[in-house]
Structures are given as structure tokens and as C-alpha cells.
Amino acid sequence: MGSVLMTGDLHGNTDHAVRLVGIAVRQECERMFVLGDFGAWEHTPDGRRYFDVVNRVARKRRVHVYFLDGNHDKTSLIHELYDEKADDDGFLVCRSNIRYAPRGHRWVWGETRFAAFGGAYSVDKPWRLAKEAQVERNAARRRRFGSSRHPVTAGKLWFPEEQMPDEEFDAALAADPTPVDVLLAHDKPRDSTPDWNRKNLPECLPNQDRVQRAVNTLRPGLMLHGHLHYRYTDTIRCGADRWTRVEGLGADPEASHPRDYAPDQSWLVLRLPYRRTLADREQPALVS
């Protein structure tokens, strides 16, 4: 088990996803892990086609693509479709080469202990709900005239399961509070302080507090996330004598970014094994 290509949000961008699979091959990574907002929209034809294309390319290039859920992934549908299709490591098998890490999932790759916690708050929730309402009004008008081609559209742009409830989150942490080496999430921990952050509304903070509780409980040497669409590195405390290095990754080129964005800010290579061995702020240089 050599390396994993870690990536930020893909947002269903097929071209960007295919490009990243190619980067994984060039970087000699057999696995690619997407830190949320993968593009899990199989309630739409385009979403199903996206899964199929990414899977076909990944299978051809011999790369397995893993993802945790972001606020723009329809997590409820993932569970509805794939809960009965888990592999030996507990990932849900969505396609032959695409796998989903459920919230709170833990696993080991190359002697490196991982945990994943998806979900976040959508700062564009009001726009998404308004758009859903507008589309539904138009669909309802057509249904009144006898058209059956316009089903109910609620839950297609905004997903009520976008955040993990506190009780569910706390139960997942309590089920296994033993430390991990690497924590993966979609949202940032509350204590990290990126220079650019457009997702700092009061409504965003409860989920950031949840991620911070995961950092404080699991005490990872390394934590990676997406969501902000911004590449940054920070170091935060996770105990009296422990520190966690936080790596935030950028997103696909069509997302909102600061002006100095470059596509290579959306990925990094995690060399395995990554084991936390130091108690101070100096971290092993195993991420490139």
C-alpha cells in the first residue's frame, strides 16, 4: 500500500474527475479519496452517467475511487441503494471501482488508521430551496394540465441530511474513541484558521464544532478536508501535548475560488504508512 491521491470537492465535474484519475496513475496511487461533494446525484440521469463514466475510467486505469459525503451529496440515496453492498473494509460499493465511506467509518490502509466524517452546512441553502420551490411550482402547473412527466422535485437540490445530527455524531465517536492517524472530513474543524473562508456564517459553526470534537477525541496527526474550496495548511491543538496538522484542499475548477486558484491546489499525495510518532508540533513530512 503505497500512496493515496487525496482530492477536494469534485461537484460532479466529469472532466476534473477523469483528470484526477490520470494524476493518481502518474503519482503511482492505486487509490483516490474525495473529501466530499463528490457528485452523488443518482436521482438524476446526469448523476448516474457521471458515476458510470468515472467508474469506467477508474477501472480502465486500475484506480479505486473512494469518497465521503459532502453537503451537496444525496447521502440518503447512497444508503438506500448501497447499504447491502459493503466490501470487506466496510465501504459501500457504488460501482466496481467507486466506494463510499459512511459517516463515522474507520479502517486501516498500510498500517495507517483512518476515520471519516462527512457532511456540512450549505451556505447556499436559501437559494437551493427557492430554486426547488420554483421548479416545483412549474411542475405542479404542468401536472394540472395532465402531464405525468413532471414529478415532485423537493430534495433534488438541497438535502436535509446534509449534516450529521449531534446525537448520531456523538454516538459514532463514543462507539470507538481510540486514536487514529488520519482524520478525513468534508468540513473544517472549528479551530483551524484559513486565510480565506467564505463559509463562516453562524449556521456553519455547529458542524465545525462536531469536526473539532472528532479531532479532540481521535487526536489524529493529520486531518484533511474540502468544502472551503481553498488550499491551506494549519496546525491546531488536539490535546495538552498533541497537535494536528490540518490540510484543506481546493475544489474543481468550476467552483467558487479565490483569484489565485490553480487546479493543482485541489489534490495532494498521502504517502503511506503515515503514523503519528511525535508529541509536539513537528510532523513527519509524509504528505507531498
pLDDT band at 218 (very low <50, low <70, confident <90, very high): very high
The answer on 114 and 139 residing in a single domain is no
Distances (CA, A) of 121 to 14, 60, 151, 198, 219: 24, 35, 27, 12, 24
Output the nine-digit C-alpha cell for 159: 438535502
Q: In what order do the strands lie in the sheet with 182-185?
A: 105-109, 112-117, 182-185, 222-225, 242-248, 232-239
Q: Is residue 153 part of a domain?
A: yes
Whether the predicted pLDDT of 287 surpasses 90 = no
Question: CB of 26 within 8 A of CB of 59?
Answer: no
Query: Do 9 and 148 share a domain, yes or no?
Result: no
C-alpha to C-alpha distance for 198 and 219, rounded to whole angstroms: 27
* pLDDT, greater one: 63 or 138: 63
Specify if 205 maps to a domain.
yes
130 plus 265 within the same structural domain = no
- For the segment 68-82, the average pLDDT, to the nearest whole number, is 97
pLDDT of residue 148: 55
Distance CA 164, CA 119 (A): 6
Both 127 and 248 in one domain: the answer is no
Residues 184 and 78 placed together within one structural domain of the fold? yes
On whether both 98 and 147 belong to a single domain, the answer is no
Q: Please tell me whether residues 109 and 135 are part of one structural domain.
A: no
Give 236's pLDDT tier (boundaries 50, 70, 90). Answer: very high
Q: Given pLDDT bands bounded at 50, 70 and 90, which one contains residue 239? A: confident
What is the average per-residue pLDDT within 143-162? Answer: 70
By the 8 A CB rule, do 272 and 221 touch?
no
User: How many angstroms separate the CA atoms of 278 and 73, rounded?
Assistant: 36
Cβ within 8 Å of residue 170, ≥6 positions away: 213
Residues 43 and 90 in one domain: yes
pLDDT value at residue 136 = 73
Please indicate, yes or no, if residue 33 is contained in any of the structural domains.
yes
Q: Is residue 278 part of a domain?
A: no
User: Considering the domain boundaries, does residue 277 fall inside one?
Assistant: no
In a domain, 284, yes or no: no
Confidence of residue 146 (pLDDT cuts 50, 70, 90): low
136 with 13, same domain? no
Q: What's this model's pTM, rounded to 2 decimal places? A: 0.92
Q: How many CB atoms lie within 10 A of CB 147?
A: 10
Cβ neighbours, 10 Å, residue 134: 11
Among 193, 274, 182, 203, smallest CA distance to 235 is for 193
pLDDT band per the 50, 70, 90 thresholds, residue 145:
low
Question: What confidence score (pLDDT) does residue 279 get?
Answer: 45
Domain identity same for 140 and 187: no
Q: Which of 203, 206, 168, 177 is nearest to 190 (CA)?
A: 206
Q: What is the pLDDT of residue 118?
A: 98
Determine how many CB atoms are found less than 10 A away from the CB of residue 157. Answer: 20
Q: Is residue 280 part of a domain?
A: no
DSSP-derived pairing of the beta strands 267-271 and 3-7: antiparallel
Say how many C-beta atoms besides its own lie within 10 A of residue 168's C-beta.
14
Write down the pLDDT at residue 149.
55
Q: What is the DSSP letter of 266?
A: G
Check whether residue 208 and residue 266 sit in a common domain: yes
| 229 pLDDT above the threshold of 70 | yes
Q: Write out the residue range of the structural domain in which residue 239 sits.
A: 3-121+163-271
Residue 283 in domain: no
